[in-house]
């Protein structure tokens, strides 16, 4: 069949429905495919003649109807990059593609593979402009898919998985910031969902209140799947993810807050409540259009870039340091995803189990979690603890010379004891359910006394760690208190320094 017939038919069709339910004007300069993605298709118009431009849009429309908006965006970006780079040559010629491959180099081969996919589809749909010799050339090429697993394999301190000490620091820092009023309920709920589930950003922003589920004392999130080609679009298929009760209770508070906010705008029925977004974009609500026309789409849900910006803000608020770099820990959703996969690999789980936990369709990208992984939990003894403590800055409180200098120095109930001796004072006036005195050392309210028996606490923790390793040969279990060990060590170092200054002062 002549490709012109295809092109004429495409030009006559003014609208099509994208995978996520958005109606798209075929002839518009930009296609809005989801709340997060608008594809500027007109960017290609200055490089193509009219017939080729219609064909180009038809190929993108083919993908937009069945593939993720992000994938269509990638196809558009890569093709325009090629058009611009090779505009002095005949586009889609063998010469232009060989030159483009040379321009990109080996590191650019993943992008070239995306362009190859579009060109092959262009030809298979029957449109003119793709010479047979070009298809033969592309079929011969073996292109690299990119080393996606490098941040995991190298344990990159900025982009890779978090260590147990870093993970503990981030969670504790977020909790402290929330209790201090530095993080709102909505921000805390979003951050803890990201940190504790390892889901992708577009999965978390797609959650609705009805996805919070519990039965028989167990708690779950019914998480929409993403990146599966068979998922059929936005919120068509789901995977149940177990969560801890604390996260479930926090998200219940977030759900109640969302309902109160929407009740100021519309009538919230019990049915509507379940369909409200757990993390909304209130500004997107069109009250003239009516809530029912918007609730089934992604329009009222938080944008992915908003989630990403929020995580950056959380990172700045908690400002906890890495014991590996001494710098503030950089956090984003994918680092927690890498951490989940890495921890499963260290526990001896196989690729299929990890793929299931990360909601991968296959094991293509899970091998990195079980092969050649460096041991995250190094042996922590006294010497190592003294080296890492100043870097990790796990201790958040202030050492005081005497009880009189404490925030609640006149209150005997503020004393923190190990059962034999007093270690310091608690500066908080609220109820605390933490296990004293051990948990106190990583708490910002703890004010250790200069003459407290902190070295004895450190010795006990180190001996207990060694005992657990000897009994279980499981460094994961033994490492539970590693950040605490660094905090106590920091207190010991500070006390020694203060005593030395006093002696030589």
Domain CATH for 163: 1.10.443.10
Instruction: Tell me, yes or no, whether 145 lies in a domain.
Output: no
342, 369, 396: which is the final residue of a domain? 369
How many folded domains does the chain comprise? 3
Instruction: Tell me, yes or no, whether 301 lies in a domain.
Output: yes
Instruction: Tell me, yes or no, whether 374 lies in a domain.
Output: no
15 phi, psi to nearest 5 deg: -135, 150
CA 282 distance to own-chain centroid: 23
Same domain, 172 and 286: yes
Which tens digits make up the pLDDT trace of 159-184?
A: 899 988 899 999 999 999 998 899 99
Same domain, 326 and 420: no
Same domain, 100 and 189: no
Instruction: Tell me, yes or no, whether 411 lies in a domain.
Output: yes
Q: What per-residue confidence (pLDDT) applies to 375? A: 53
Q: What per-residue confidence (pLDDT) applies to 324? A: 87
Same domain, 342 and 395: no
Q: What per-residue confidence (pLDDT) applies to 154? A: 75
21 secondary structure, DSSP code: S
Same domain, 26 and 128: yes
Q: What per-residue confidence (pLDDT) applies to 212? A: 97
Mapping DSSP onto H, E and C, the string for 419-477 reads CCCEEEEECCCCCCCCCCCHHHHHCCCEEEECCCCHHHHHHHHHHHHHHHHHHHCCHHH
Same domain, 129 and 156: no
Distance CA 49, CA 52 (A): 5
Q: What per-residue confidence (pLDDT) applies to 206? A: 96
Instruction: Tell me, yes or no, whether 147 lies in a domain.
Output: no
Instruction: Tell me, yes or no, whether 247 lies in a domain.
Output: yes
Same domain, 173 and 128: no
Three-class DSSP category at 7: helix
Same domain, 347 and 453: no
Distances (CA, A) of 192 to 8, 198, 221, 249, 314: 52, 10, 13, 12, 10
Same domain, 268 and 173: yes
108, 140, 172: which is the final residue of a domain? 140
Same domain, 218 and 286: yes
Q: What per-residue confidence (pLDDT) applies to 6? A: 45
Instruction: Tell me, yes or no, whether 376 lies in a domain.
Output: no
Contact (CB, 8 A) for 194 and 204: yes
H helix or E strand, kind and range, residue 417: strand 415-417
Q: What per-residue confidence (pLDDT) applies to 501? A: 85
Instruction: Tell me, yes or no, whether 131 lies in a domain.
Output: yes
The stretches in the chain having pLDDT less than 50 are 1-11, 372, 376-377
Same domain, 255 and 302: yes
Same domain, 359 and 450: no
Q: Residue ranges of the alpha helices (H) in 223-269?
A: 245-263
CA 223 distance to own-chain centroid: 14
Beta strands in 192-262 (DSSP E): 212-215, 218-224, 238-243
Q: What per-residue confidence (pLDDT) applies to 155? A: 81
Domain that holds residue 23: 3-140
């Amino acid at each position: 069949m002549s490709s012109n017939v295809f092109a004429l038919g495409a030009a006559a069709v003014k609208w099509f429905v994208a995978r996520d339910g958005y109606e798209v004007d075929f002839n518009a300069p930009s296609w809005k495919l989801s709340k997060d993605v608008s594809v500027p298709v007109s960017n290609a118009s200055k490089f193509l003649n009219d017939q080729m431009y219609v064909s180009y849009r038809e190929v993108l429309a083919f993908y937009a109807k069945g593939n993720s908006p992000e994938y269509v965006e990638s196809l558009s970006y890569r093709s325009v990059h090629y058009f611009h780079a090779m505009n002095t040559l005949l586009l889609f010629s063998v010469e232009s593609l060989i030159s483009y491959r040379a321009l990109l180099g080996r590191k650019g081969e993943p992008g070239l593979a995306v362009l190859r996919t579009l060109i092959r589809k262009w030809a298979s749909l029957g449109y003119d402009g793709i010479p047979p010799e070009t298809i033969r050339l592309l079929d011969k090429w073996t292109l690299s898919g990119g080393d996606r697993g490098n941040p995991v394999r190298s344990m990159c301190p900025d982009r890779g998985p978090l260590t147990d000490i870093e993970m503990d620091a981030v969670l504790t820092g977020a909790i402290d910031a929330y209790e201090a009023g530095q993080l709102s309920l909505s921000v805390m709920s979003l951050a803890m969902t990201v940190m504790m589930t390892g889901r992708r950003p577009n999965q978390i922003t797609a959650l609705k209140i009805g996805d919070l589920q519990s039965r028989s004392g167990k708690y779950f999130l019914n998480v929409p799947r993403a990146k599966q080609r068979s998922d059929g679009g936005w919120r068509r298929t789901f995977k149940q993810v177990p969560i801890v009760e604390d996260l479930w209770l926090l998200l219940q508070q977030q759900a109640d807050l969302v309902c109160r906010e929407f009740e100021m705008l519309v009538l919230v029925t019990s049915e509507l409540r379940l369909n409200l977004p757990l993390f909304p974009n209130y500004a997107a609500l069109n009250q003239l259009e009516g809530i029912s026309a918007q609730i089934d789409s992604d329009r009222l849900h938080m944008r992915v870039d908003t989630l990403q910006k929020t995580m950056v803000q959380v990172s700045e608020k908690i400002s906890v340091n890495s014991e590996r770099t001494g710098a503030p820990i950089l956090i984003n959703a994918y680092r927690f995803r890498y951490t989940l996969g890495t921890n499963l690999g260290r526990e001896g789980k196989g690729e299929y189990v990890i793929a299931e936990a990360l909601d991968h369709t296959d094991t293509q990208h899970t091998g990195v979690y079980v092969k050649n992984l460096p041991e995250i939990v190094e042996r922590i003894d006294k010497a190592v603890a003294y080296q890492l403590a100043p870097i990790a800055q796990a201790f958040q409180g202030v050492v005081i010379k005497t009880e009189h200098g404490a925030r609640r120095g006149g209150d005997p109930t503020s004393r923190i004891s190990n059962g034999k001796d007093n270690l310091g004072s608690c500066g908080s006036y609220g109820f605390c359910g933490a296990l004293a005195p051990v948990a106190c050392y990583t708490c910002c309210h703890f004010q250790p006394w200069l003459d407290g028996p902190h070295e004895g606490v450190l010795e006990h923790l180190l001996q207990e760690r060694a005992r657990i390793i000897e009994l279980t040969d499981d460094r994961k279990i033994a490492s539970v208190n590693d950040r605490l060990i660094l905090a106590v060590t920091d207190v010991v170092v500070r006390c020694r320094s203060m005593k030395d200054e006093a002696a030589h002062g």
